[in-house]
Amino acid sequence: MGTGKRGLIATAVAVVCAVTVLAAPGTAFANPTPSPTPSAGQTLAPAKDLEAVRKKLDKLYRAAARATDEYNAADEKADKQSTQVVELAKKIVKGQEKLRKLKDRAGAAAAAQYRGGGLPPEAHLVLSDDPQDFLDGAGRVREGHHATKGLLGELTRTQEDLEQYAKDASAQLKKLEAGRKAKAAAQKKIEKQIAQAEKLESALQKEEQDRLAELEKEAANKAQTAWLDSGILNEINGKASAQGKKAVKYATAQIGKPYQWGAEGPRTYDCSGLTSQAWISAGRGIPRTSQEQWKQLRHIDVQDMRPGDLIIYFGDASHVAMYIGDGAIVHAPRPGRTVTIAGAGSMPILGVVRPDPGTGAN
């Protein structure tokens, strides 16, 4: 391991000593702890049944992850729509005040015309002793007509603007309500999937739960070992940018904090909450959800990735982690787990995205 890369993951290594995912390419993970011996009188589920439970749990938690992305996306939209409604409301208030002042001016102009008797210029000419007074008055009349015409035009435009603002606000409120419903529906999905997973796990005996945890580790280790055996790590030599280093420092500092769906810190995180906040701390805002991070950020070949880049997992882009170097990631795995280091190849990789355009550090 190069000294530069050691520096990038120093924080993580201090928290998680001798993590097996940091093994050299081609090296298998340490053997898992031997399965606990059943207590007297207990009959444990066969290994194949526990493997089925593991796959079922994985399916449930992945469904919860997809629903979490839906929830986060709806939440983000609701925030934007709320902001737009507030801005439109401010425009309506200003427009109403402007309209009131215009009406006052129009009323004053009408009153002035009434006080002048509303006589046409020809009548004023007949009644005037001085033709010059008439000419001056006629000029003022023309100016008055122009001013009145302009005032009425401004009144009309202001009224039209107010009507449009009201229509826009109504449309945004409808979208906001639809977003709230989508958010509530996603929340129900999440809670349902997590409740089913927790019920499934709680039905297991303590020894079975321990063995199940070992099966999860074994599956992750097997996938990581296969990824490393491909020789991919020999091709990954990218160095972190200045912003990438800051993002990695932030993300690794969160190790040990609990996963919570919809959370963006500082005490709890979901997967994309961790990565988005890490990059915000580095001075670069990125999309909130893993699916939008996959859609909007620049795609990078796996062999070109560098610390700070984000690895998107599964075909539906339902999980995201931050690459920290040496074949390792930091991520918020799922409910019941904490932010931790894992192998970059421990889950099916969809692709890699880069939040910042900066060049690598020296």
List the catalytic residues: 271, 319, 331
| Cβ atoms of residues 225 and 28 within 8 Å | yes
Which residues are CB-neighbours of 129 under 8 A, at least 6 positions away?
Answer: none
- How far apart are the C-alpha atoms of 102 and 346, rounded to whole Å? 68
3-state DSSP call for residue 155? helix
Q: 320: left (phi > 0), else alpha (psi -120 to 50), else beta?
A: beta
- From the list 254, 230, 240, 243, the residue with the least C-alpha distance to 362 is 240
3-state secondary structure 62-110: HHHHHHHHHHHHHHHHHHHHHHHHHHHHHHHHHHHHHHHHHHHHHHHHH
Chain centre to alpha carbon of residue 78: 12
- From the list 84, 92, 85, the residue with the least C-alpha distance to 162 is 92
Q: How many CA atoms lie within 13 A of 311 on its CB side?
A: 27
- Helix and strand numbers (H, E) in the chain are 9, 6
Cβ burial of 272 (10 Å; 0-12, 13-18, 19+) is buried
Q: 168: left (phi > 0), else alpha (psi -120 to 50), else beta?
A: alpha
- How far apart are the C-alpha atoms of 112 and 148, rounded to whole Å? 12
Report the length, in residues, of the chain: 362
In sequence order, what DSSP letters do the residues of 235-290 get, joined into one string?
Answer: T------HHHHHHHHHHHHTTTPBB-TT-BSSS-B-HHHHHHHHHHHTT----SSH
Query: Taking the alpha carbons of 34, 40, 45, 50 in that order, is the dihedral positive or negative?
Result: negative
